[in-house]
Amino acid sequence: MSGVPEIDLSDPAVLADPLAAYGRAREESPVARLIAPGFGPMWAVTRYAEARAMLGDPRFELSADSYMRLPVPEAYLVYMRTMQEMEGQEHLRLRRLVSPAFTPRHVARFRPRIQRIVDSLLDGLQGDGPVDLLEHFARPLPMDVICEMVGIPESDRATWRGYGAAVASGHGQKLAEAIPGIMEGAKAAVARRRAEPGPDLISDLIRVQADDGDRLGDAELVTLVWQLVLAGQTPTNLIANAVQELLAHPAELAALRADADLMPRAVEELTRWCGPQLLAIPRFLTEDVTIGGVPVPKGVPVTAAIGAANRDPRAYTDPDRLDLRRDPGTCAHLGYAHGPHFCIGASLARLETEVALGALLHRFPGLGVAAPPARLPDPGTWRVAALPVTL
């Protein structure tokens, strides 16, 4: 279409620097077309105001077609449809029941337990040579936190770390093979807490009852645990990206070391600057719409180019500068999406990242780069293959 830039997601230049490709498209048009071999075209909203509006517009619907389906045994299909695939009253009902357990105040109760997990992982970073911070710290941390929050027994946590690695690897055979184990573990955890409540998230959710008497069923609880396992790996790449960028910006790193109270604001800015999600989960249009003057037809998949929107000069002053003192209240980033499907675990991801970065920087004042990290060629996720550092 005339005036609408096209981005070939298989182009080596795009894979090498998707942020630059999406940024160039943003300055040409508020909408771009993404193309890739074997897939039909997808539309991407590149500018902040338009992307934020799209993410909150009910005409752009998430559905089963928004996700790649994995080959899992039929017995587990009942747990595969998460709240992310639901819209309207069905989504609102679950969101109303689940949201109280994920408020910043409620999640903050887990800070001491997250701190213990972080400290334990840092205790394991030994030796004088380079350490891969991704493999030994950022990757195991989110799954250990999820296990703690949902009450997975200590004896099972090594297995669940394996599940986390399978999820982090993306769609494929390893992930498909891990799903039954995750489901069975979640079912056992729900049954255990039905019989004997404890200080964990599942127990909190079991106790939730709406004004009309509505409660979460066992299948819904198991599905929620599965959703947490999937979405809960976000801090892996966020923490790794944040460490990489802090080491590349020594003045900002020094400012953060000098003022621990800066950490919450720093995490917001790092999420804007190097958040792992470059493209939002695609939505499907229920009617023809016009985005920034560009007509987009009904039925097509539309995504938000989060990486481009979060660096839109129309929304941010000096957007291509990492500024840990930037006021996040001036313009909230889209790293956790926006609207009805705003990430329900955002408070947990923020807390986890704050604790991880704070403890890491305090424990290792001489932290440095051991070798340039290699970024994985992925147009949808900003992530590194390894993060070798000296302690």
Q: Residue 180 belongs to a domain with what CATH number?
A: 1.10.630.10
In total, how many domains does the chain have? 1
**The pLDDT of residue 351 is above 90:** yes
pLDDT level of residue 38 (50, 70, 90 thresholds): confident
**The pLDDT of residue 1 is above 60:** no
Residue 50 lies in a domain: yes
Residue 367 lies in a domain: yes
pLDDT, residue 2, reads: 55
Phi-psi region of 191 (alpha: psi -120 to 50; beta: other; left: phi over 0): alpha
pLDDT level of residue 172 (50, 70, 90 thresholds): low
pLDDT level of residue 51 (50, 70, 90 thresholds): very high
DSSP letter (8 states) at residue 168: H
Q: Which of 222, 206, 226, 232 is nearest to 144 (CA)?
A: 232
Residue 88 lies in a domain: yes
Beta-carbon-side half-sphere exposure of residue 81 (alpha carbons within 13 Å): 15
Residue 1 lies in a domain: no
Q: Give the C-alpha separation, 61 to 186, whole Å.
A: 28
pLDDT level of residue 105 (50, 70, 90 thresholds): very high
Q: Give the C-alpha separation, 303 to 313, whole Å.
A: 20
**The pLDDT of residue 181 is above 60:** yes
Q: Give the C-alpha separation, 349 to 149, whole Å.
A: 13
Residue 332 lies in a domain: yes
Tell me the residue ranges of DSSP E strands in the chain: 6-8, 31-36, 39-45, 60-61, 131-132, 283-285, 289-291, 294-296, 301-304, 368-369, 388-390
Instruction: Tell me the C-alpha to C-alpha distance, in Å, between residue 198 and each of 147, 184, 194, 207.
Output: 13, 19, 10, 11
Lowest mean pLDDT among 77-81, 100-104, 221-225, 305-309: 77-81
Length of the chain as a residue count: 391
Range of the domain at 127: 6-390
Residue 140 lies in a domain: yes
DSSP letter (8 states) at residue 375: B
pLDDT, residue 212, reads: 78
Sign (positive/negative) of CA torsion 346, 349, 353, 354?
A: positive
Instruction: Tell me the C-alpha to C-alpha distance, in Å, between residue 196 and each of 145, 192, 310, 324, 385.
Output: 21, 6, 45, 44, 41
Q: Which of 81, 34, 41, 78 is nearest to 62 (CA)?
A: 81
The 10 Å Cβ neighbour count of residue 324 is 21
